[in-house]
Chain A
Amino acid sequence: MRAWIISTVVAALLACGQVRAAEQTLRVIAHADLKVLDTTANTTYITNRYGYLVYDTLFGLDSHFVPRPQMVDTWTISDDRLTWTFTLRPGLTFHDGAAVTSDDCIASLKRWMARDAMGQQLATRIAVFEAVNPSTFKLVLTEPYALVLETFGRWGAPPFIMPAKVASAPMSEVVTSSIGSGPFIMKRDEWRPGSTVVYVRNPNYVPRKEPPDYMSGGKVAKLDRVEWHYIPDANTALSALTTGEMDYYELPPLDFIALLKDNPEIEVKVIDKLGVQQFMRPNSLFPPFDNFKARQALLYLASQEEFNQAVVGNPDLYLKFCGALFMCGSDNETDAGSVKAPDLAKAKALLAEAGYKGEKLVVLQPTDRPPYNAATLVMVDKLRAIGVNVDLQPADWSTISIRRARRDPPDKGGWNIVITGHGGPDAANPVSNYWIGANCEKANIGWPCDPKLQAMIAAWSHEPDRDKRRAMIPALQEQAYTSVSYAPMGQFFQPIAYRKNVTGVLEAGMPVYWNIEKK
């Protein structure tokens, strides 16, 4: 009897040990601290990535940027292209066990459309948006709109589906719940803001049967636990990855890439084939940039390689030149209208034609954003070389975020030029790339105004045929390069790094944690 008890206890302990040993935990060095859980109010990448872990989406883009169904099982479009009917996959449940219904989808979409620029484009065309039954909902449009699926499957800041009771709260209330229907569940009791976020596998998640492809296909959570650790010091983060304390580094500084590549235990990989585009944003409200010729002058300041040398350094990680406003490598890539070679004399002449006579131009310098900061310094050097009287005003990003939203004249707290950027998939079409929008007062900061360009964007969004839409891009881009909502500074790629015992890392444009295994 005694021997039986001992052997049983030993067997139980061994089994327990095996379970523990088999449990897979991925320790991730997150690129930022997760501060805001509201994926509709907040468009930061860290909140977006949190969203992809805990929530699911109706559609997801595949690697050709075609929207594929995710939560949706089937959908139909009426002959007049006005009525869209969507049916959800069976078996979808939230983390609290409640079934995902049409009401949840409608409430979530309405909340998201109130905030997101691409969602607002769709919202203005909706006549009826209602549930047909618990798993089917109907969208009736006032006019045909080609980008319904693209809108539902948007890559950055997509409409995540949350419970209706959460999504229907007033917009003034920030969402603090993290109950979704995604492949992972956030462990709220283990959340340490500023330090650690823990997710565990959602045992009730039913992935699609298709293989994963970019943001579409089966989201099979193979890890039991994903831990995000926020390590603010890059040297410490590098050491933690090197020693194996951490498994995955979301955003290793570009300076460290060569060092990481030399380490035989570490894999360095670009998972975002479209990369990042940085650009100069002139303020079109005030001289000289209220004149399109002054804005055009920015295109001739420097080669993209000069900017990327300062920002990235490693030539393997940037394109020498990309004239496509909608990103090289995307379906909408074209060089039409672009300026390849710098020409300081021409830049100077264009500024003079715009009436610039040496007035002080306020340039905002974000000192705590290294890529923006480096690009700003190159730009200022070139501006000074053509005789621009630059008033360089350094500040942290928080201050600049407020400052750049002001419409005051530059000498009264406003500004003339600021540098910013966006992720490739968001920039890849004229609607999701809302920095290109030139609808005057309603445009994003800088408030460019070009009715002709706006009309071309609208026509593009109404065209249902993908090939025809593609054919419209060169003319649209030429017009964009004429009025210059922004002047691109090049396209570069930010790799991730992980230990080689981590497999199944997907090229989804951003780190996603389904399909990953740790051996």
Chain B
Amino acid sequence: MAGFILRRILMTIPVMLVVAIVVFLLLHLSPGDPAAIIAGDNATTADVEAIRISLGLDKPLIEQFLLWIGALLQGDFGVSVFNKVSVWTLITQRMEPTLALATVTMSFAVCIAIPVGVLAAWKAGTWIDHLAMGIAVLAFSSPVFLIGYGLVFEFARTLRWLPVQGYTPMAQGFTGFWQHLVLPAISLGLVFAALLARMTRSTMLDVLNEDYIRTARAKGLAPGPVLIRHALKNAAVPIVTTIGLGIALLIGGVVVTESVFAIPGIGRLTIEAVTQRDYPVIQGVILIASFVYVLINLGIDVAYALLDPRIRY
């Protein structure tokens, strides 16, 4: 297992290199650059050109790439071309809200989805199954922003129980932290919960039809242990895969939710950087996100082996 983990970590190097080259080329070959935005709407052509030169955007592409990759190899992600704050600082500032939102969202989704999925599979074909899956389809089909606006209208604007927007770091108090995360986590978590519930139901149904489940029931085991110990554990591999991919998506940034609830997370950082052509920030965020994807996939593979003793690397 240790060898497998080491090999996978080493494999991230060529992956990151390919990502770096592709991202750099895509960004620099697409139209627009940050100079015009820095200069502002009323800038003259000469102003824009002066800023392009000061940013080094007039240099040949290969020279710009080598400068960037050289700094990157020394752990320097560069600075934002706009506010001159280091890319690493910007990413770390945005990582806390994103991680907090991802953790609360996924916890909420798992807590709802797994029991509902197991229950639906156990009661397959009954009204409980139909109701659970009907709600799941509805939640999965509803746009996140619509759920978000609905929750804000009811719980923030009408009842005034929770804040409309923003993020409070945990260091400034747990109450504020929690209050600001409830609505975004629910609106985002409902979609993941729906997806997970359907996945759980489907894989549980497959497992519940296996011979060893029939044997367990024949031995007189209570439904609880059969469902949890024998069925759910064996159905866990695809569920864990879905959870892992969900976490990766959430850490990569959920732009709509972050925008609706004004959470300063990675998703908004990425979109703002893209629209402003803030090349160092886009490159830094995508590299980090790719690295996180690779790590999460590695974590999922390790989880497979822990959940299913037949899987060996």
- Does B224 touch A at the CB level, under 8 Å? no
Q: Which of B80-88, B200-208, B228-236 contacts A (4 or more CB under 8 A)?
A: B80-88
Residues in A209-259 with C-beta less than 8 Å from chain B: 229-233, 235-237, 239-240, 242-243, 245
Q: Are B53 and A236 in contact (CB under 8 A)?
A: no
Give chain B residues whose Cβ lies under 8 Å from the Cβ of A239: 152-153, 156-157, 164-165
B280 within 8 A of A: no
A78 in the interface (beta carbon within 8 A): no
**Which B70-118 residues have a C-beta within 8 angstroms of A?**
80, 82-85, 90, 93-94
CB distance A240 to B165 under 8 Å?
yes
Question: Is B38 touching A42 in the complex (CB atoms < 8 A)?
Answer: yes
Interface contact B50-A402, CB-CB below 8 Å: no
Given known pairs A117-B44, A194-B269, A444-B44, the reply for A240 and B275 (CB within 8 Å) is: no
Check if B213 is an interface residue, CB within 8 A of chain A: no
| Cβ distance A274 to chain B, nearest Cβ, rounded Å | 16
B246 contacts the other chain (CB 8 A): no
Say whether B268 contacts A194, CB under 8 Å. yes
Cβ of A368: which chain B residues have Cβ within 8 Å of it? 275
* Residues 151-182 (chain B) with a chain A CB within 8 angstroms: 152-153, 156-157, 160, 163-167
Q: Is the CB of B164 within 8 A of A236?
A: yes
- Beyond A194-B90, A233-B259, A434-B44, 10 additional pairs, beta carbon < 8 A: A36-B83, A41-B47, A47-B40, A172-B53, A195-B264, A236-B152, A236-B261, A240-B166, A245-B164, A401-B41
State whether A402 touches B32 (Cβ < 8 A).
Answer: yes
**Among A391-399, A450-458, A463-471, A500-508, which stretch is in contact with chain B?**
A391-399
Interface size on B, residues (CB 8 A): 51
A sample of 13 cross-chain residue pairs with beta-carbon separation below 8 angstroms, ordered by A number, consists of: A43-B43, A47-B40, A117-B44, A156-B42, A193-B93, A195-B264, A240-B164, A240-B166, A245-B163, A396-B32, A398-B36, A401-B48, A444-B44
Chain B residues within 8 Å of A36, by CB: 38, 82-83
Does A357 count as interface, using CB distance less than 8 angstroms? no
Cβ-based interface call for B272 (8 A): yes
**Do residues B165 and A37 form an inter-chain contact, with CB atoms below 8 A?**
no
Closest to B80 in A: A193
Alpha-carbon distance A242/B33, docked complex (angstroms)? 37
Lowest 5 CB-CB distances: which A-B pairs, in order? A401-B36, A43-B40, A195-B264, A35-B82, A172-B54
For A232, give its contact among B36, B37, B259 (CB under 8 Å).
B259
A168 to chain B, nearest CB (A): 16
- Chain B residues with Cβ below 8 Å from A231 are 165, 262
Smallest beta-carbon distance B187→chain A, Å: 12
Contact A229–B262 (Cβ < 8 Å): yes
- Tell me if A173 is interfacial: C-beta within 8 Å of chain B: yes
CB neighbours (8 Å) of A196 from chain B are: 264
B268 CB contacts on chain A under 8 angstroms: 194, 232
User: What does the 1/0 interface line of B247-272 toward A look like (CB < 8 Å)?
Assistant: 00000000000011110100011001
Q: How far is the CB of A206 from chain B (nearest CB, A)?
A: 30
Q: How far is the CB of A435 from chain B (nearest CB, A)?
A: 8
Q: In the complex, are the beta carbons of A173 and B54 less than 8 A apart?
A: yes
With both beta carbons as reference points, the residue of chain A lying nearest to B271 in the complex is identified as A232
- B residues near A (Cβ < 8 Å) are 31-45, 47-48, 50-51, 53-54, 80, 82-85, 90, 93-94, 149, 152-153, 156-157, 160, 163-167, 259-262, 264, 268-269, 272, 275-277
Contacts of B90 in A (CB 8 A): 193-194
Bound together, the chains give a CA A422 to CA B50 distance in angstroms of 22
Neighbouring A residues of B85 by C-beta, 8 Å: 193
Query: Known contacts being A115-B47, A194-B272, is A236 close to B260, with CB within 8 Å?
Result: yes
On whether A233 and B38 interact (CB within 8 A), knowing A174-B54, A239-B156, A245-B165, the answer reads: no
A34 contacts across to B, CB distance below 8 A? 83
Instruction: Evaluate contact between A44 and B41: CB separation under 8 angstroms.
Output: yes
A426 interface residue per 8 A CB criterion: yes
Q: Which residues of A contact B (CB under 8 A)?
A: 33-37, 41-44, 47, 115, 117, 156-157, 171-174, 176, 192-196, 229-233, 235-237, 239-240, 242-243, 245, 368, 395-399, 401-403, 405, 420, 422, 426, 434, 444-445
Q: In the complex, A44→B51 CA distance in Å?
A: 15
Select B272's contact among A33, A240, A434, beta carbons within 8 Å: A33
CA distance A34 to B38 in the complex (A): 11
Contact A43 B39, beta carbon cutoff 8 Å:
yes
Residue of B32, B53, B269 most packed against chain A (CB within 10 A): B32
The residues of B that contact A173 with a CB separation of less than 8 Å are: 54
* Docked CA distance A385–B298 (Å): 61
Q: Are the CB atoms of B45 and A445 closer together than 8 Å? A: yes
Measured between alpha carbons, how far is A192 from B83 in the docked complex, in Å? 10
Q: Contacting B264 at CB < 8 Å: which of A115, A194, A396, A445? A: A194
For residue A122, give the distance in angstroms from its CB to the closest CB of chain B. Answer: 16
CB neighbours of B39 from chain A (8 A)? 41-43
Bound-complex Cα distance A36 to B41 (A)? 14
Q: Is the CB of B277 within 8 A of A398?
A: yes
Residues in B with CB closer than 8 Å to A232 are 259, 262, 268
Q: Whole-angstrom distance from the CB of A193 to the nearest CB of chain B?
A: 5
Contact A401 B42 (CB under 8 A): no
CB distance from B295 to the nearest CB of A (A): 25
Instruction: From B44, B160, B167, name the one whose CB has the most chain A CB atoms within 10 angstroms.
Output: B44
Instruction: List B contacts of A240 (CB < 8 A).
Output: 164-166, 262
- By the criterion CB–CB under 8 Å, are A402 and B44 in contact? no
